[in-house]
């Protein structure tokens, strides 16, 4: 009896691997929107380093720690480290949408240079007066003003104040602490009216200097706070947040590799010497395929972990970091386990998936002969024997190359021949 089977083609496995990786990684990378916007390093376009300044010990908590009087004092005197500062607070105010309708919005009340200092690609209308400018998130504009309504240039009431709508920005471009529906850019004179004890967030732009370029992404400093008093502050680089996500991912990859032997068997099986003289390129083909799978799943895990960690813009930076730690480790460990299982079920010659499982032997004859599952390569290259119960004489799966006597069953198969 003969069975007509298609000739084995190793390139099919490579094409399937690349196609599967593209299908998996493209939706994740695009849905991030790219989550690239969630990483400040990729949206900052100014030169120099932008730092988030908080009180020592409260970095990453998402709580306002800098008083308005500190911001005004530091902005008024010449600084050696910083060239400029921006200050903002997160407040909730009623916004009048129509004469008889108002909504509570979470608003970032800030100094007028906030967007310029961050270098966000925001195009604002030229102010027509000295009144404060309101910049809406795209989500808030669609929810409260309608998708088709042009709100730019309109004058609306925020609390008891008249403001001019000057722009619309995607909310995922904002990765600083504080939930945001809109930004209220106040003139300097209005910012001077903020109560001295009001707490907010401080952004500082480091002076361009070769010495400052050597600073780390996280450092502490002390500043005078009055006679006999000192404030201790922590400075976190916004651009360093992107490097932090990559460092977290790389560390979790290392932990996943270390944890892999405890969760699954590492050996791929026993491969007996073949009577065919395989070329070196074919001997190493299965190892190249294994490394290619690992190389392709790592970016999938990286972008997937970022997507999950920064899914909700209101989550603090610290919480997002913890989410990325858990998701990176879990996804990477699962992907590595799948990679090994998939590799064990492939022919070492053509890389095709082994098929037609057949039950061989009986459990009662375990001490006399092996029993388990037998799979075959449709290209006619060999058989894989997988024991049901590992024993001291048959502890792992074994690959058996088929000799030329099997050619009659695989007339169309491209069997390995000497010199190939």
What are the pLDDT digits (tens) for 88-142? 998 888 888 777 778 889 999 999 888 888 877 777 777 667 788 899 888 888 8
Question: Could you give the percent of the chain with pLDDT greater than 70?
Answer: 75
Which residue, 165, 96, 97, 103, is CA-closest to 137? 165
The arithmetic mean of pLDDT across residues 152-174, rounded, is 84
Number of H helices, E strands in the chain: 9, 16
- Average of pLDDT values for 320-347? 91
Average pLDDT of the segment spanning 200-216: 76
Query: Average pLDDT, stretch 390-397?
Result: 76
**Whether the predicted pLDDT of 357 surpasses 50:** yes
From edge to edge, which strands make up the β-sheet containing 382-387?
A: 270-271, 398-401, 382-387, 372-376, 355-360
Bigger pLDDT: 38 vs 250: 250
Q: Among 39-48, 65-74, 146-155, 222-231, whose mean pLDDT is lowest?
A: 39-48
List the single range of 174-178, 243-247, 258-262, 350-354 with lowest mean pLDDT: 174-178
Dist CA 77 CA 302 (whole Å): 44
pTM of the model: 0.61
């Amino acid at each position: 009896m003969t069975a007509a089977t298609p000739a084995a083609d190793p390139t099919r496995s490579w094409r399937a691997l690349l196609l599967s990786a593209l299908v998996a990684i493209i939706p994740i990378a695009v849905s991030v929107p790219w989550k690239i916007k969630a990483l400040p390093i990729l949206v900052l376009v100014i030169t120099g380093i932008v730092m988030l300044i908080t009180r020592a010990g409260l970095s990453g908590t998402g709580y306002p720690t800098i008083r308005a009087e500190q911001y005004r004092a530091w902005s008024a005197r010449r600084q050696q480290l910083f060239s400029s500062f921006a200050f903002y607070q997160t407040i909730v105010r009623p916004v009048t949408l129509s004469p008889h309708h108002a909504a509570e919005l979470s608003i970032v009340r800030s100094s007028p240079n906030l967007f310029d200092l961050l270098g966000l690609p925001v195009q604002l209308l030229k102010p027509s007066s000295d009144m404060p400018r309101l910049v809406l998130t795209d989500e808030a504009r669609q929810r409260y003003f309608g998708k088709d309504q042009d709100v730019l240039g309109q004058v609306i009431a925020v609390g008891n104040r008249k403001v001019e709508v000057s722009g619309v920005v995607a909310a995922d471009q904002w990765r600083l602490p504080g939930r945001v529906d809109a930004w209220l850019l106040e003139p300097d004179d209005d910012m001077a009216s903020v109560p001295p004890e009001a707490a907010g967030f401080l952004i500082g732009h480091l002076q361009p200097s070769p010495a400052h370029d050597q600073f780390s992404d996280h450092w502490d400093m002390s500043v005078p706070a009055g006679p006999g008093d000192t404030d201790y502050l922590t400075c976190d680089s916004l651009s360093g947040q992107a490097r932090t996500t990559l460092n977290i991912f790389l560390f979790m990859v290392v932990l996943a590799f270390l944890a892999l032997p405890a969760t699954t068997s590492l050996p791929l099986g026993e491969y007996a010497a073949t009577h065919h003289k395989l070329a070196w390129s074919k001997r190493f083909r299965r190892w190249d395929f294994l490394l290619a799978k690992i190389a392709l799943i790592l970016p999938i895990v990286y972008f997937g972990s970022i997507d999950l960690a920064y899914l909700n813009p209101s989550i603090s930076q610290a919480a997002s970091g913890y989410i990325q730690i858990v998701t990176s480790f879990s996804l990477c460990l699962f992907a590595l386990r799948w990679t090994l299982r998939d590799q064990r079920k492939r022919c070492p010659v053509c890389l095709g998936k082994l098929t037609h499982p057949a039950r061989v032997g009986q459990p009662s004859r375990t001490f006399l002969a092996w029993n388990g599952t037998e799979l075959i390569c449709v290209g006619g290259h060999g058989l894989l024997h997988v024991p049901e119960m590992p024993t001291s004489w048959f502890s792992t799966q074994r690959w058996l190359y088929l000799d030329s006597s099997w050619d009659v069953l695989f007339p169309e198969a491209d069997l390995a021949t000497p010199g190939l």
